[in-house]
């Protein structure tokens, strides 16, 4: 054991230079060489300078001066280009720069003007294309060489139309790289279209004429918020000594009899992934079992091992970065994948390789979010909501927000997308969920009558009766489950099972990932899940059916399990500040002085007794239960089981409904419940 520690320490001391340091050294060398070659042309660089001048004059002819110019370009690119990725790029660009200039000089000013390089470089092209075409070719090559040296682009930021009323300029977003670098922020160009003929605005189905009229009145003036309201990425990730860490991993595994070949290194916003390929015959479980030993050797905690990486024959070891970068929402929304995505696409963040990750709620079709306090759940919900606001008008998306904690979704109060004010009371939340179930059933009847399969087909064939998407957000499921567990679970399961085709989707969040809150039925029907940092592996298994979430770093570090994926993906979630949320909501609220609510949802709660509901849609045996209890003048769950020949669960639910509607009193242990109405009396909340 002592010998192994000594070897590990030795491996850690083999620190290599950072890539930025190497680039700076090469840049200084290139600039010094440029100065020496310039002095050599005037005989001021000694004997070596004279020899170099004669040699390169033979090669380059009168284009000798281009040699120091090329070296200056290389040094400038390495020192000042924020987009540089590889050292070889400026070297290749400089070679193309020299060749194209010398060839042009040879073609335009005569043979050997560009030296041997220009003469032999131009000859085959002139032979094949003639002089005029060759000038065009080498001019293009000259331009390409400058683009390669500075890794630049000729693309102009012409604005393009994204949605009605808004034009957003194109902006290049850096692709993922092994060592991603920060980009300079580019001001977003946002213009409001004028003199634009709006198409006929569709009306919403199944809402009152007053709501329809109000929304149609406001829709033509609605403008989607500009991306300039959001912030970009902040900070730069630092992985520390990448080479030294790779040596430590390789040495540590070798000392346990596991030879491996190190692969690429991916530096993400919060973790760095070291990939390795074990030798043939090595079981992956042996590598996973050494997780604590690797964490000790690297002095890094927590450390996560992904064995294997999905789609690759490598094992990934994820080590926390020395310093992390905040992933801004703005750059994620500028990506083409989001801009070209569907109306319910939203951002997740960036994976361990720095690539932007997205998900589509229409395909999920529901999402469960869980994690401990302060792990990033609320910020994730804000990120999802802003993603939806940047894609949808109040005509295309309606929201039901349930916030038992009262403060998490307060920013969205009075938003025009809301079907009701933000719901904070548990009884009102139950009413909203039951209304959602009824709305789902009504939409299915409409689709059946129209002979279409889903809401997309219906909206395509019936544009004048547009059916908007409805997204129900529950910020804290645990509070609802503790008060109305059976009702909440039944409604969520019913919606999750059937609502996809009619455009109704659930986003459910909880900070208490226990089996009492995330029940088996809820998990079985909400297959897409996000797990933030949790306290134990048991909580992780409750969310993801596997461990891993207990090893996350917090602050937006998540594991995303798609419904069609076998293993979760590690993602650093997008950070959205309270100031950004306020700027976006203020921009939207300025366009609509008053929200347009659906009063039916509130009325369902107001008209009920003790949170009950009018009508007998909840159970077809309610009439029979009411009659049996009123005539027998006694009430208990076992009594209903015997008389109605039903199971305990259904009898208990019928008894709860009778209590909610004022038919029977509350239970008092083993005593029978009091019947609150006489044999001949009719209860005002009973509808036959």
Nearest to 332 by CA among 570, 562, 173: 173
Binding site annotation covers 49? no
402 SS3 class: strand
Q: Confirm or deny that 63 is annotated as ligand binding.
A: no
376 is in an annotated binding site: yes
Was 438 annotated as part of a binding site? no
Cα separation, 125 vs 120, whole angstroms: 9
With tokens 């149609």, the residue in question is 216
Q: Who contacts 642 (Cβ-Cβ below 8 Å, separation ≥6)?
A: none
**93 marked as part of a ligand binding site:** no
- What residues contact 511, with CB distance under 8 A and at least 6 apart? 370, 371, 372, 373, 377, 476, 478
Alpha-carbon dihedral sign for residues 103, 105, 107, 113: negative
Number of H helices, E strands in the chain: 23, 18
Q: What single DSSP character describes residue 195? A: S
Do residues 483 and 449 touch, judged by C-beta distance below 8 A?
no
Which residues lie across from 262 on neighbouring strands?
276
At residue 162, the 3 state secondary structure works out as strand
Query: Cis before residue 308, ω within 30 degrees of 0?
Result: yes
For residue 378, say whether it is annotated as part of any ligand binding site: yes
Contacts of 496 (CB under 8 A, 6+ apart): 366, 506, 522, 525, 526
Listed in sequence order, the residues at least 6 apart from 614 whose beta carbon sits closer than 8 Å to its beta carbon are 604, 607, 608, 685, 687
Q: Sheet with 166-169: list strands edge to edge.
A: 159-163, 166-169, 190-191
Decide: residue 54, CB within 10 A, 0-12 exposed, 13-18 middle, 19+ buried: exposed
| Alpha-carbon gap, residue 622 to 624, rounded angstroms | 5
| Annotated binding-site residue? 375 | yes
281 marked as part of a ligand binding site? no
Residue 469, classed as helix, strand or coil, is strand
E-only strand ranges, 134-198: 159-163, 166-169, 190-191
Judged by DSSP in three states, 37 sits in helix
Known binding-site residues for ATP equal 371-378
Known binding-site residues equal 371-378
């Amino acid at each position: 054991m002592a010998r192994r520690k000594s070897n590990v320490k030795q491996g850690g001391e083999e620190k290599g230079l950072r890539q930025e340091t190497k680039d700076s050294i090469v840049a200084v060398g290139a600039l010094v060489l440029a100065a020496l070659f310039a002095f050599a042309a005037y005989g001021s660089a000694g004997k070596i300078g004279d020899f170099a001048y004669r040699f390169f004059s033979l090669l380059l002819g009168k284009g000798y001066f281009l040699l120091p110019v090329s070296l200056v370009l290389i040094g400038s690119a390495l020192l000042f280009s924020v987009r540089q990725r590889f050292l070889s790029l400026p070297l290749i660009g400089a070679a193309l720069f020299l060749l194209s200039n010398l060839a042009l000089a040879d073609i335009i000013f005569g043979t050997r003007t560009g030296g041997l390089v220009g003469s032999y470089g131009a000859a085959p092209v002139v032979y094949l294309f003639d002089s005029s075409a060759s000038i065009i070719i080498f001019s293009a090559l000259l331009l390409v060489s400058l683009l390669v040296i500075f890794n630049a682009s000729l693309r102009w930021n012409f604005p393009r139309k994204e949605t009605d009323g808004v034009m957003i300029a194109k902006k290049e977003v850096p692709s993922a790289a092994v060592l991603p670098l920060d980009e300079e922020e580019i001001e977003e160009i946002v213009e409001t279209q004028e003199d634009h003929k709006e198409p006929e605005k569709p009306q919403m189905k199944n809402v009152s004429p007053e709501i329809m009229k109000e929304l149609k009145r406001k829709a033509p003036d609605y403008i989607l918020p500009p991306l300039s309201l959001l912030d970009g990425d902040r900070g730069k990730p630092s992985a520390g000594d990448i080479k030294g860490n790779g040596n430590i991993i390789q040495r540590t595994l070798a000392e346990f009899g596991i030879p491996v070949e190190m692969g690429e290194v991916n530096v993400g916003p919060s973790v760095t992934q070291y990939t390795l390929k074990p030798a043939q015959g090595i079981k992956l479980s042996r590598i996973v079992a050494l997780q604590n030993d690797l964490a000790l050797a690297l002095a890094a905690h927590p450390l996560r091992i992904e064995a294997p990486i999905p789609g690759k024959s490598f094992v990934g070891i994820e080590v926390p970065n020395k310093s992390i970068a905040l992933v801004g929402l703005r750059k994620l929304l500028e990506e083409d994948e989001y801009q070209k995505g569907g109306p319910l696409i939203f951002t997740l963040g960036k994976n361990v390789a720095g690539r932007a990750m997205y998900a589509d709620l229409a395909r999920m079709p529901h999402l469960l979010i869980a994690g401990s306090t302060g792990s990033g759940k609320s910020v994730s919900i804000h990120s999802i909501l802003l993603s939806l606001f940047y894609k949808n008008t109040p005509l295309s998306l309606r929201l039901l927000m349930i916030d038992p904690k009262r403060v998490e979704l307060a920013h969205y109060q009075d938003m025009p997308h809301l079907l009701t004010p933000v719901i904070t009371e548990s009884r009102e939340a139950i009413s909203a969920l039951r209304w959602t179930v009824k709305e789902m059933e009504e939409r299915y009847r409409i689709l059946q009558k129209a002979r279409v399969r889903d809401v997309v087909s219906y909206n395509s064939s019936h544009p004048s009766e547009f059916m908007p998407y409805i997204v129900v957000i529950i910020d804290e499921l645990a509070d609802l489950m503790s008060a109305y567990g059976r009702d909440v679970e039944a409604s969520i399961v019913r919606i999750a099972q059937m609502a996809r085709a009619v455009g109704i989707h659930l986003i459910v969040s909880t900070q208490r990932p226990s089996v009492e809150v995330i029940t088996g039925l809820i998990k079985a029907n909400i297959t897409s899940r996000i797990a933030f940092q949790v306290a134990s592996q048991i909580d992780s298994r409750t969310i993801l059916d596997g461990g891993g979430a207990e090893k996350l770093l917090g602050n937006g570090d998540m594991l995303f399990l798609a419904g069609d994926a076998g293993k979760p993906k590690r993602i650093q979630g997008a950070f959205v500040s309270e100031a950004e949320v306020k700027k976006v909501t203020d921009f939207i609220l300025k366009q609509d002085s008053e929200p347009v609510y659906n009063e039916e949802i509130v009325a369902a709660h107001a008209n009920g007794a003790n949170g009950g509901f009018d009508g007998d849609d909840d159970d077809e045996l309610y009439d029979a239960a009411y009659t049996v209890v009123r005539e027998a003048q006694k009430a208990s769950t076992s009594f209903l089981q015997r008389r109605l020949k039903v199971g305990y669960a259904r009898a208990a639910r019928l008894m709860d409904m009778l209590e909610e509607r004022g038919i029977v009193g509350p239970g008092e242990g083993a005593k029978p419940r009091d019947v609150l109405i006489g044999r001949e009396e009719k209860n005002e909340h009973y509808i036959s």
